[in-house]
Structure 1
Amino acid sequence: MEGSDNKGSAQVGPHFSEQAFDFLEELEHRNNRAWFDENKPTYETELKARMLEVIEAVNSRLGAFAADYLRPPPKAMLRIYRDVRFSNDKTPYKTHLAASWPRQGLEKAGGAGFFLQVGVHGVMVAGGAYSPGSPQLRAIREYLLEHHEQMRAVLANADLLRVAEPFDGRPLLRAPRGFPAEHPAEDLLRVRSWAQFALLPGDAALREDFVDVVVDRFRALAAFVDLLNVPLATATPLAVDAASGRRRAAGSRP
């Protein structure tokens, strides 16, 4: 997959430095707090600051086709510190940078969104809902019973096929319980992971057209992300709990 698409002259925009990648490479071998603290000034200037600039530049372009996904850069950027509480790997730091742009209002409710990961070994630009919870997955499946043709049209879009890896979805072997096995959407009903990925070499992040490349892929993913959020907007934990009577109005007594 090409790192750029040669659609007119690329804009010069924020990107990463060789020094940033040197830091990440060294972090793979010296993933400990002492080394990180000693080299934190490099992290702050060459990684964190540059990532925030990339996010800001992406935001300036999202308004044209995904205004509901704008997010302040400090909130969009994910922490480099790993959550090691439930992991056998106790290394304290991730060896890549990442940012996410969920749909506004669905940030904590399992909505679909856009995602960017930058590392020495590759850049991943993604969109969708990678691991939806049970209420979210059920909402998608129920929606597809009537709208599977619309989803197929989105998945077959030429712009999406141009940039994305073949869609996998980690499907079940058979139709999920409670859904018909003999249905035109049967193959879509078996999908468990509704995410699409565009993969690029790591050095794509070093190029002056890096933001162009990211935004081009976000644009191609936008219809897919928007369609998923139609059912996901109705399946937030709050809505599910309220519908089942498990959540009382704020301030009400048991």
Structure 2
Amino acid sequence: MFQASTLKFLKNLKSNNNKPWFDDHKTEYQQAKADFESIVQQIIDGLNKQDKTTVGLQVKDCVFRIYKDVRFSKDKTPYKSNMGASFAAGGKKSILAGYYFHLEPGGHSFAGGGLWMPPAPELKKVRQEIDYNFEEFERIISNKEFIKYYGKVEGDALKTVPQGYHADNPAIAYLRLKSLVVTHAITDEACTQPALVREILKSFAIMQPFLNFLNRGLD
């Protein structure tokens, strides 16, 4: 579970997103960072037991920096008001589908995963896998536990039908997606409860067949 001070720091950072404030609260940031990395390590340890593709991951491979790249953004605030970690073979820079945990107080925390904005060649492979094996894909995302935790697969969609497919394809709603992701909301209260990591790992286990399918397409 997270310390209440970690959520408090992120809340305050959202209201004071500037370098002078951040510098004045650097000690609080370091404590929040250490707390987050401790949870990430616990998630890695649990994932290693249920998904062997994550064996060998280290915290530094998974955790994203809190510093924003503002070069191409209209929002010039220098820091993220959240902490995030991606768990996939090869770490956060991997092109593979993977698990993701996002800590953002105010009801914005979630466990999720999938394939986020892959390059065109990889997306083409995944579309082909869905097209060829749509019945299997549909069984995975129609599983009762999957729907209970994640609802439906989401992502930005093309306005037109992707090249090589027809509008009457049974899988067209998924073939049009540029990302295939799912999310499971986690309350602020749940983030500070002892069962947090256990619940994250359970949600990841339910997601695993979905990720396995996507990554099979990328092999």
TM-score (norm 2): 0.91
* Aligned partner of residue 80 in structure 2, secondary structure: coil
Identical counterparts, % of pairs: 27
Larger radius of gyration: 1
Contact 2:64 2:92 in 1 (8 A): no
Contact 1:120 1:203 in 2 (8 A): no
> 1:191 Cα shift?
2.3
> 1:180 Cα shift?
3.1
Where do residues 84-233 of structure 1 align in structure 2 (5 Å cutoff)? 84-104=70-90, 108-121=93-106, 122-233=108-219
Match of 2:2 in 1: 16
Q: Which residue, out of 6, 26, 51, partners 2:36?
A: 51
> 1:158 Cα shift?
1.8
Contact 1:69 1:113 in 2 (8 A): no
Where do residues 63-102 of structure 1 align in structure 2 (5 Å cutoff)? 63-70=48-55, 71-102=57-88
> 1:76 Cα shift?
0.9
What is the alpha-carbon distance in structure 2 between the residues aligned to residue 215 and residue 203 of structure 1? 18
What is the alpha-carbon distance in structure 2 between the residues aligned to residue 230 and residue 198 of structure 1? 23
Q: Which amino acid counterpart does residue 32 of structure 1 have in structure 2?
A: N
> 1:208 Cα shift?
1.2
Q: Which residue, out of 25, 28, 42, partners 1:39?
A: 25
Worse-superposed segment, 112-121 or 130-139: 130-139
> 1:108 Cα shift?
4.0
* Aligned partner of residue 10 in structure 2, secondary structure: helix
Deviations 1:5-34 (A, max 9, x none): xxxxxxxxxx21221122111111211111
Match of 1:7 in 2: none
Q: Which is richer in helix?
A: 2
Deviations 1:18-76 (A, max 9, x none): 2112211111121111111111111112x111111111111111122212124201221
What is the alpha-carbon distance in structure 2 between the residues aligned to residue 19 and residue 188 of structure 1? 41
> 1:173 Cα shift?
4.4
Contact 2:63 2:92 in 1 (8 A): no
> 1:79 Cα shift?
0.6
What is the alpha-carbon distance in structure 2 between the residues aligned to residue 119 and residue 168 of structure 1? 20
TM-score (norm 1): 0.80
What is the alpha-carbon distance in structure 2 between the residues aligned to residue 30 and residue 90 of structure 1? 13
Q: Which runs of 5+ in 1 are unaligned?
A: 1-14, 234-254
Q: Which amino acid counterpart does residue 72 of structure 2 have in structure 1?
A: F
What is the alpha-carbon distance in structure 1 between the residues aligned to residue 147 and residue 195 of structure 2? 21
What is the alpha-carbon distance in structure 2 between the residues aligned to residue 38 and residue 169 of structure 1? 38
* Aligned partner of residue 196 in structure 1, secondary structure: strand
Contact 1:165 1:199 in 2 (8 A): no
CA RMSD of aligned residues (A): 1.7
Q: Which runs of 5+ in 2 are unaligned?
A: none
Contact 2:68 2:80 in 1 (8 A): yes
> 1:167 Cα shift?
2.6
Q: Which amino acid counterpart does residue 54 of structure 1 have in structure 2?
A: I
What is the alpha-carbon distance in structure 2 between the residues aligned to residue 159 and residue 91 of structure 1? 39
